Structure 1
Amino acid sequence: MRAEWRRLLPIPRSLLGRMLLLTLLAVLVAQALSSAIWLSQLRATQLEGLVTTARSLAHSMSASVRYFRSLPVAYRPLVLDQLRSMGGTRFVVSLNDRPLQMKLLPATPRRQAVTEAVSEVLQESLGGGADISVNFVSPDDLLIFNGGLKLDELPRSWAHYALTLEPVKPPVLVTQMQLAPGEWLYIASLLPEPYTTLEEPLLPAQQWWFMLFSSAFLLLFIGLLVHWQSRPLKRLARAARSMSLGAEVEPVAEGGGREVVEVGRAFNAMRERISRYLTERAQLFSAISHDLRTPITRLRLRVELLEDEAVQAKFGRDLDELELLVKGALQCVKDTDIHENIEPVDLNQLLHCLVEPYLAPTGTGQVTVHGQAQAAYPGKPLALRRCIGNLIDNALKYGHNARLYVEDDAHGYVLHVDDDGPGVPEQRLEQVFEPHFRLAGQQQGYGLGLGIARNIAHSHGGEVSLQNLREGGLRVTLQLPRTPD
């Protein structure tokens, strides 16, 4: 599950990238919540203003209705004609013998709030028994008279100025009420700005720009802060990598926040302890080497003086075994504690020098190389040479052939060494790295090659692993990271 999330949402590996990603997510969530709250309050405020405007419009309608009611029936058409000749009024008014049937717009919360407010005011002003219908109609479906005339079919001076806002086509509020049997008063009007379209308000452009600039400035300042605080950590990482390779490391400058200062201080103390330990260990093994060689040599001289050849042979075998153990232990310490300066190593040239003795004049032989390194690798040249050389020698010793496959990218250098040998039992894939362990007892050597190779890889922050090939043989993989974790 976690791997799937990492594929869907790539997470940066650097501290700066992760902090910026978390900050961006936090800003987006905070901006989304604040915008949602602000927008809901804006809509509530606008809905309240819309209802107030609708009630005010309804009071104007009720005044017009009372005015037409006060006119004699015969004068009502004449007054309407005079109003149309003068260019119309705020409302488009007509008298019909029946209510006009039109295609109504679907109800929305805002339209329903307006129609309910207008109906309530008209019922209160004109009497509760009035037959009133209030609806919204699209300008394209709007009818004005009994004859079914549409808005576009009328003279522009009659209704267009009151009911159109080109190029926008806002919904028209149509109110029809019965004044007398066979006489219906028709009133059409638009809502005033800013409620003309009755649309739900979206976030204005100013709010979007505010969110964009505030997020950008916050990310910039967070990025500068994290970069400033992470510089001591980068120095600490470089020093730790150099120390893992055995180089002389100067004390790390303590800087940054209090926690980072504590980490630097602890690292400096650890560096002093490790340096002191390595010095004491080198002195100890030098003393062991000197102290053991002398008695072994003296014992060999005394064995030569023995008259019993059988006893002499037994003592000789014991001394040979003791000398083998001493040499093996000293070689293990010598090969894994190589004091070299770290420098760019041309791994392609290194491989070429190691496999050249095994190549036939025709260009083919016991060792083949596929692929190449893309760039130099910062490490210890002699140690890497011993590490890769041990892997090749081990493949040739047990598998007779070695096929080298190189994979290299920005993250690390990988070398696969395949052989045609019998492989290693699964339960012993880790045991073969132990000192003096050999699967074949008759093989020559100290049984230290793989262990030394793994220790050198560990000192470079890498790893050596084993895998039995399905078609037979063993694959030894050397991984060297190019970027420290």
Structure 2
Amino acid sequence: MPATERPRRRWRFVPHSLLGRMLLLTLLAVLMAQGLSSLIWLSQLRASQMEGLRTSARSLAQSMAASVSYFRSLPLGYRPLVLDQLRSMGGTRFFVSLNDKPLEMRMLPETPRKRAVLNEVEQVLRQRLGRAVDMTIEFVSPDDLRIFNGGLKLDELPPSWAHYALGFEPLAPPILVTQIQIGPGEWLYLASLMPAPYVSLENEGLPVQQLWFIMLTSGFLLLFIGLLVRWQSRPLKRLAAAARDMSVGDQTDPLPEAGGSEVIEVSRAFNNMRDRIGRYVAERGQLFSAISHDLRTPITRLRLRVELLDDESQQASFTRDLDELELLVKGALQCVKDTDIHENIEPVDLNQLIRYIVEPYLPPEGDGRVTLEGRALRPYFGKPLALKRCIGNVLDNALKYGERAHLLIEDDKHALTLHVDDEGPGVPEQRQEEVFEPHVRLAGQQQGYGLGLGIARNIAHAHGGEVSLRNLREGGLRVTLRLPRRHEQA
């Protein structure tokens, strides 16, 4: 693989248009800005939530310590009675029971929020109840929660018993289970939920509302940026079309100077450049006309003096030199004359024009060396005589070197294309551009100035088009004349 092709493949997903690149850069900028601001906002939200979670945990631990102190103060015989009243009446934030040993349950995985709550609760309880008290504090899933010594699950209890303290339906938040030894073989069991909105122990991501906000703001921003870029790039498209379709000597209206100040400056520079080119072409035509007039007289005078020479060998030598000089002058003047035709642009019926050019070769009057397929869908706006000379030169070249010519017309809304195939030897690929140079003939024995294809290409360029060559796989050369459809009228 050539090294020059690798960057193209690497960036093949990057849009090529100005609008696409602006939208892509805007989207990346919006996503980066929104992502950064969302990360800052989310970190501040999590910090405030962590602080609120710690405060709620301390408040909950204070209530636990008060409940433990209350049960410690009760006589042993009254403690079951108080528990029954609490279960029946409700009104407490804990589900409380007395067990003869701490219950074993599967704990929830460790998270930063879980560890922060457990540390706060344990710190408050040991400050209130004493450092030496035996206790276990953990978070348990509702499905793994056990209540009494027998290991009963929460859903096996009467609904009223846990309705006030552990009412988590339809959610299933983690339950904080605290087991504290208040006497020999007597463990006080306290189960509770964290107060809202701190019921979750996981770090929450961006809220759905925040995601919708990012999507809506990004969408509206891309819409407005797209409209702005499309509005500003329209003059650039007109400038590109005018530059692509600009023809030498074409008298058209100046390019409208619209858009931003930079685009206006570029449009003004383009109009000035086109005016300078037009003046240069006009001055060149006048210069060559003057040269033609000035050279014709001395060449004629020299021919008359050559005829007066007595030495026939010198006369023949001078005559050959004058013929060569006249041939060079005629070739140069023909090149300028045929590529700088001052005509007005008008609708041209190319079907009729091509038919007129090839008619001498078509049967029954002609020898059948030319075939024609296809047709133009509508008139083409151009210079009639220049187009006739352009197509005629291409056809003459095909018949001169290929003996037969096959013409194919293709037409659509973008361009009119004429393919001229011959049956000759073709042109080596490395010399295909060389044949468009003046006075270049690959077949030295053929007569002519070697200007036909060069003149044809120049006329095509004057119409914003192109003439290209390609060797056919089955043999022969294909000359393609492509003329863009410009100046079209509705």
TM-score, normalised to structure 2's length? 0.83
Shift of 1:366: 5.4
Flag the 1:405–1:161 CA change in 2: closer, same or farther, 3 A.
Answer: farther
Amino acid at match of 1:200: N
Alignment partners' CA distance in 2, 1:368 and 1:74: 121
User: Which residue number in structure 2 is paired with residue 27 of structure 1?
Assistant: 30
Alignment of 1:267 onto 2:270: yes
User: Which residue number in structure 2 is paired with residue 84 of structure 1?
Assistant: 87
C-alpha contact (below 8 Å) 2:249/2:281 kept by paired residues: no
User: Which residue number in structure 1 is paired with residue 52 of structure 2?
Assistant: 49
Shift of 1:23: 2.5
Flag the 1:154–1:236 CA change in 2: closer, same or farther, 3 A.
Answer: same
Amino acid at match of 2:12: R
Root-mean-square deviation (CA, aligned residues, Å) is 3.7
User: Which residue number in structure 1 is paired with residue 109 of structure 2?
Assistant: 106
C-alpha contact (below 8 Å) 2:417/2:482 kept by paired residues: yes
Flag the 1:213–1:297 CA change in 2: closer, same or farther, 3 A.
Answer: same
Flag the 1:190–1:405 CA change in 2: closer, same or farther, 3 A.
Answer: farther
Percent identity at matched positions?
Answer: 73
Shift of 1:158: 0.7
Q: Secondary structure at the match of 2:165?
A: helix
User: Which residue number in structure 2 is paired with residue 133 of structure 1?
Assistant: 136
Alignment partners' CA distance in 2, 1:421 and 1:360: 22
Alignment of 1:296 onto 2:302: no
Could you give the per-residue CA deviations for residues 379-405 of structure 1, whole angstroms, max 9, x where no partner exists? Answer: 555545544543444334323455667
Amino acid at match of 2:249: G
Could you give the per-residue CA deviations for residues 237-274 of structure 1, whole angstroms, max 9, x where no partner exists? Answer: 45545543532244455454443343344334333322
Shift of 1:112: 2.7
Could you list the runs of 5+ residues in structure 2 that have no partner in the other structure? 1-5
Alignment partners' CA distance in 2, 1:381 and 1:131: 108
User: Which residue number in structure 1 is paired with residue 3 of structure 2?
Assistant: none
The range that moved more, 237-246 or 194-203, is 237-246
Alignment partners' CA distance in 1, 2:52 and 2:353: 81
User: Which residue number in structure 1 is paired with residue 98 of structure 2?
Assistant: 95
Alignment of 1:4 onto 2:34: no
Shift of 1:441: 0.9
User: Which residue number in structure 2 is paired with residue 170 of structure 1?
Assistant: 173
Alignment of 1:334 onto 2:337: yes
Q: How does 1:288-367 map to 2 (within 5 A)?
A: 288-304=291-307, 306=309, 309-342=312-345
The range that moved more, 328-337 or 423-432, is 423-432
C-alpha contact (below 8 Å) 1:245/1:342 kept by paired residues: no
Q: How does 1:441-452 map to 2 (within 5 A)?
A: 441-452=444-455
Alignment partners' CA distance in 1, 2:395 and 2:446: 16
Q: Secondary structure at the match of 2:446?
A: coil
Shift of 1:121: 2.5
Alignment partners' CA distance in 2, 1:403 and 1:383: 21
Could you give the per-residue CA deviations for residues 407-463 of structure 1, whole angstroms, max 9, x where no partner exists? Answer: 777776666655443333454333222100111111122111222233234334444
Could you list the runs of 5+ residues in structure 1 that have no partner in the other structure? none
Could you give the per-residue CA deviations for residues 271-290 of structure 1, whole angstroms, max 9, x where no partner exists? Answer: 33223212211111122222
Flag the 1:325–1:144 CA change in 2: closer, same or farther, 3 A.
Answer: same
C-alpha contact (below 8 Å) 1:304/1:312 kept by paired residues: yes
Alignment of 1:201 onto 2:204: yes
Amino acid at match of 2:30: V
Shift of 1:41: 1.8
What is the number of residues matched between the two proteins? 480
Shift of 1:331: 2.0
Shift of 1:50: 1.7
Amino acid at match of 1:184: W
Amino acid at match of 2:72: R
Match of 2:213 among 210, 213, 237: 210
Alignment partners' CA distance in 2, 1:100 and 1:482: 89
